[in-house]
Copies of this chain bind each other. A is one copy, B any other.
Amino acid sequence: MQSVIKTVEWTDEGVVFIDQTKLPTEELYVTCRTYEEVAVAIKDMIVRGAPAIGVAAAMGIALGVRDAKVSTVTELRQVFGAICRTMGETRPTAVNLFWAIRRMQRKFEDLSNMPLAVLKTEMVLEAKRIHLEDIAANQAMGRFGAVLMPSEGGVLTHCNAGALATAGYGTALGVIRAAVESGKNIHVFADETRPFLQGSRLTAWELMKDGIDTTVISDNMAGAMMAQGKIKAVVVGADRIAANGDVANKIGTYTVAVLAKEHGIPFYVAAPWSTIDLETADGSQIPIEQRNPREVTHMAGKQLTPDNVHIENPAFDVTPSRYVTGIITDRGVAKAPYNESLRKLAQIETVSA
């Protein structure tokens, strides 16, 4: 079951995104014709989800390199530095962004004594390769994770870690898709995920497209659903996973993890290897993006709060690894102690596609 959703795609005209701010009522595609437009699309969350941000950044860099008006590799190197800086300043938490930039930088260095035209072509190919690898990684996660899902019953997910958050298929939703494909009878509970509503707008939309039974709940209903025995497992994505297994993910993930622990429900995190950041020792060192208060104060142009009230709007929170039953990667499933299990997986070189 290859999802038909085109989250991010390379075309000769530019990088094409489905505009995730318009879903679920409008299915609109936008073409970013410059790397600057790609950076804005990432910042404004037209494309979001850590793996998709990584792919988008790689394509944005490739676009900038391809269209750079330079006549030597030395000139290109200047422009390339500026492109990478612009891309790196879009969003701070998802480590896949920095992973993708570093990978494009390494490729640039590897090829820097090639002719300009070859270098440009190869950079575009590298971005396309990152895109394909991400889909393969999702499918590998699906295979590793499907067996961990209940044979029937409710599975709760938070935010959107689906086809829309990746190059396709999804991380957490990839695990659910693979479980359903293997014959498991799963009903998804999707937290609506305030303030940006990735759950109600995006997760519900893509699961409905695939014919997977889905119930949207507001975030504060998760505890009641668990107490009523409706949830058998939780699976979420991640924006960055530290070396000790602490997980930065969409705000509210930590609340769900605490609830899962209280109810004895397994709590899984699904993420490609590019989300694992072994250079960050623990969650306290992960930078947490603060977003515009307007996401909380307004909806559809309507003001929801009184003037001048204080607002908190962290985009992410950190779930300490002690709440995490397992981290499903494309290299296998890590379990506690994560410092050891993640280091062991780090030695596996290739994505098992």
Chain A residues with a Cβ under 8 A of chain B: 24-25, 158, 191-195, 197, 200-201, 204-205, 208, 213-225, 227, 251-252, 254-256, 258-259, 261-262, 296-297, 299-314, 317-318
Contacts and interface: CB of A to CB of B under 8 A. Distances in A.
Nearest to A252: B220
Contacts of A308: 208
A297 B220 CA distance: 15
Contacts of A200: 296-297, 304-305
Contact of A219 (B25, B194, B304): B194
A221 B306 contact: no
Contact of A220 (B213, B220, B299, B302): B220
A256 to B, nearest CB: 8
Given A215-B311, A220-B191, A208 B306 contact: yes
A201 B303 CA distance: 9
Residue of A158, A217, A305 with most partner-chain B CB within 10 A = A305
A121 to B, nearest CB: 40
A192 B317 contact: no
A224 B254 contact: yes
Number of copies: 2
B225 A252 contact: no
11 contacts: A192-B296, A208-B306, A218-B251, A220-B220, A221-B252, A221-B314, A223-B258, A224-B255, A224-B314, A224-B317, A300-B300
A312 B252 contact: no
B195 A218 contact: yes
Given A194-B194, A258-B258, A214 B24 contact: no
Q: Which of A221, A252, A311 has the most CB of B within 10 A?
A: A221
A214 B310 contact: yes
Contacts of A309: 204, 208, 214-216
Nearest to A308: B208
A204 B305 contact: yes
Nearest to A299: B299
A349 B1 CA distance: 68
A214 B310 CA distance: 6
A307 B93 CA distance: 32
Given A24-B305, A205-B306, A303-B24, A193 B217 contact: no
A205 B307 CA distance: 9
Nearest to A259: B258
Contacts of A25: 302-303
Contacts of A223: 252, 254-255, 258, 317
A270 to B, nearest CB: 19
Contacts of A24: 303-306
A311 B225 CA distance: 12
Given A215-B310, A309-B208, A310-B215, A251 B195 contact: no
A135 to B, nearest CB: 23
A259 B251 contact: no
Contacts of A318: 224, 227
Contacts of A310: 213-216
